Amino acid sequence: MKENILKIILLVAALATLALACKPRAAAVIEPLKTTVKHADWTRNMVLYEINVRQFSQEGTFAGVDSALPQLKELGVNVLWFMPIYPIGVQNRKGELGSYYSISDYVGVNPEFGTIDDFKALVARAHEMGFHVILDWVGNHSAWDNPLATQYPEWYAKDSTGNFVSPFDWTDVIQFDYTAEPLWDYMVGAMKYWVAEVGVDGYRCDFPGLVPEEFWFRATTELNAVRPVLMLAEDEDHSYLLERAFDMNYAWAHHHLMNAVAADQRRPAALDSILQYEMRRYDPESYRLRFMTNHDENSWNGTIDEKLGDAQKAFAAYLFTVSGVPLLYNGQEADLDKRLEFFKRDPIEWKETELRPFYTKLVHLRTSHPALRHGTEGGSYETLKTNQKSVYAYKRVKGDDEVLVILNLSKSPVTVALKDGATAGTYNDLFTEAGVEIAQGQKMQMEPWGYMVLTK
């Protein structure tokens, strides 16, 4: 669904954030965000996994996802985010099967995937196995042939001639007009249906900046009255959404910066700059979503291999050990090396690769170490000085728990020494499972895009 203009908007917003983050500190004027959002207890230790039902299995059904739950449990992820599962509009449809984000019924299920009973059973089984489940919610627009457009045309935006309006170049959808207050009742009611009747645990909300913040505050308040939920905003530009309505938003600028470092367009030190900026900009209790890819990035902008190449593992080690909530897109652990089609069937090829055990180690590290928890329950973050500009080193500490990370973010081998004596001691290497002695000034050889994740 995200094409052309949307990509430009997101990129411009991310670059603006990135430019501010990388200014000298004295020159940056930063208004710190304060939040009143109370996170559900279960959100403190999340690793999200995004599921594209159409492409997840050869069947492209809920049953295809259900049969894979044991493998996802072994991987260690604990929150399953389902891309939209609702019926897709036919009028002005894009491609063979249409976009998931062109919704013709907000309380229905796409027959391509199965029935409502199939999805209820899938949610119940996921809960039994310890997962939480969130749904994609599209509040800004509907399909042209959603019955709401006929029954309540006053709920939609119109041009000067009285015709429905498509946002941007999304010609398969029409935009709602939230000055129509009954629309709020309908939308909140539909969101409550999936939580109360189907059992979902929250929402990833598509492009929420085009919907009034007051709506999201009302929706979150009423949903939490049913059951504590997770609310994720696909947004970074409208950070005020985190003040009252959302637990988490996308770290878009951070994502683009990782790609720039991998392409040797930015220095690794810029990563520390943007993290320091976020610490000053965002409330410590606000969550940021960290990702190397997602459905938009994969389909429209390129695969991880295209964007990061040999740097993937180094950046994965980084992404799973800095503050924020990590995301895996389905197939990432199977070396998804193609851009999945968006408007037709294009099943993932589930290959056995070294990436599955690699990501399994990182996910379990993330969920088992108090220093890596989210928000104020997580550990401190300290950048460590080294003798190499291409090496980025830092540690996370909470009580007796310590995670030390050393990354060679370059395509050249280096000899690196840490200059900070506070890191001295004996550690366990996550990937080799060997003991490692670290001492101030000790020289270590690191391969191109090398990574060390050490625990005490």
Q: How confident is the model at residue 29 (pLDDT cuts 50, 70, 90)?
A: low
* Mean pLDDT (whole number) for 95-120: 98
A 10 A CB-CB count for 348 gives 18
Task: Say whether both 164 and 21 belong to one domain.
Answer: yes
Task: Say whether both 437 and 350 belong to one domain.
Answer: no
Q: Please give the Cα distance from 3 to 6 (Å, whole number).
A: 6
Domain that residue 407 falls in? 383-455
A 10 A CB-CB count for 120 gives 16
Task: Say whether both 319 and 414 belong to one domain.
Answer: no
Q: What is the pLDDT of residue 19?
A: 52
Q: How confident is the model at residue 26 (pLDDT cuts 50, 70, 90)?
A: very low
* Mean pLDDT (whole number) for 417-445: 91
Q: Identify the domain boundary among 328, 346, 378.
A: 378
How far CA 299 is from CA of 52, 68, 261, 284, in Å, comes to 11, 23, 22, 33
Task: Say whether both 275 and 408 belong to one domain.
Answer: no
213 has pLDDT over 70? yes
Q: How confident is the model at residue 18 (pLDDT cuts 50, 70, 90)?
A: low
Q: Are the CB atoms for 339 and 298 separated by under 8 Å?
A: yes
Q: What proportion of the chain, given as a percentage, has pLDDT over 70? A: 94
Q: Which residues lie below 8 Å from residue 107, measured CB to CB, with a gap of 6+?
A: 190, 193, 194
CATH code assigned at 390:
2.60.40.1180
Task: Say whether both 277 and 413 belong to one domain.
Answer: no
Q: What domain count does the chain have?
A: 2
Task: Say whether both 218 and 292 belong to one domain.
Answer: yes
Place of tokens 């019926």: 87
9 has pLDDT over 50? no
Q: What is the pLDDT of residue 108?
A: 98
* Mean pLDDT (whole number) for 285-292: 98
* Mean pLDDT (whole number) for 112-125: 98
Query: What is residue 237's DSSP assignment?
Result: S
Task: Say whether both 274 and 316 belong to one domain.
Answer: yes
Place of tokens 């996550």: 430
Q: What is the pLDDT of residue 420?
A: 76
Look at the alpha carbons of 102, 107, 113, 119 in this order and tell me if their dihedral is positive or negative: positive
CA angle 46/255/406 to nearest 5° reads 75
Q: What is the pLDDT of residue 441?
A: 87
115 has pLDDT over 70? yes
Q: What is the pLDDT of residue 440?
A: 83
Q: Identify the domain boundary among 378, 412, 439.
A: 378
Q: How confident is the model at residue 21 (pLDDT cuts 50, 70, 90)?
A: low
146 has pLDDT over 50? yes
Q: Are the CB atoms for 425 and 395 separated by under 8 Å?
A: no
Residues in the chain: 456
Place of tokens 């994969």: 298
Q: Are the CB atoms for 165 and 175 separated by under 8 Å?
A: yes
Task: Say whether both 314 and 334 belong to one domain.
Answer: yes
Q: Contacts for 273-280 with beta carbons within 8 Å, 24 or more apart?
A: 273/21, 273/22, 274/18, 274/21, 274/22, 275/322, 275/323, 275/381, 276/21, 276/25, 277/20, 277/21, 277/22, 277/28, 277/30, 278/21, 278/251, 278/254, 278/323, 279/323, 279/381, 280/30, 280/32
Q: How confident is the model at residue 67 (pLDDT cuts 50, 70, 90)?
A: very high
Task: Say whether both 255 and 317 belong to one domain.
Answer: yes
CATH code assigned at 238:
3.20.20.80
Mean pLDDT score of the chain? 94
Task: Say whether both 166 and 255 belong to one domain.
Answer: yes
Task: Say whether both 271 and 129 belong to one domain.
Answer: yes
Q: Identify the domain boundary among 378, 411, 444.
A: 378
**The pair of three-digit structure tokens given for residue 232, joined into one six-digit string:** 């994720």
Strands (E), 100-172: 132-137, 141-143
Task: Say whether both 210 and 278 belong to one domain.
Answer: yes
* Mean pLDDT (whole number) for 54-58: 98
Buried b (16+ CB within 10 A) or exposed e, 141-157: bbbbbbebbeeeeebbb
* Mean pLDDT (whole number) for 394-399: 97
DSSP per-residue letters across 158-219: B-TTS-B--STT-TTEEEB-TT-HHHHHHHHHHHHHIIIII---EEEESSGGGS-HHHHHHH
Predicted confidence (pLDDT) per residue in 306-347, tens digit: 999 999 999 999 999 999 999 999 999 999 999 999 999 999
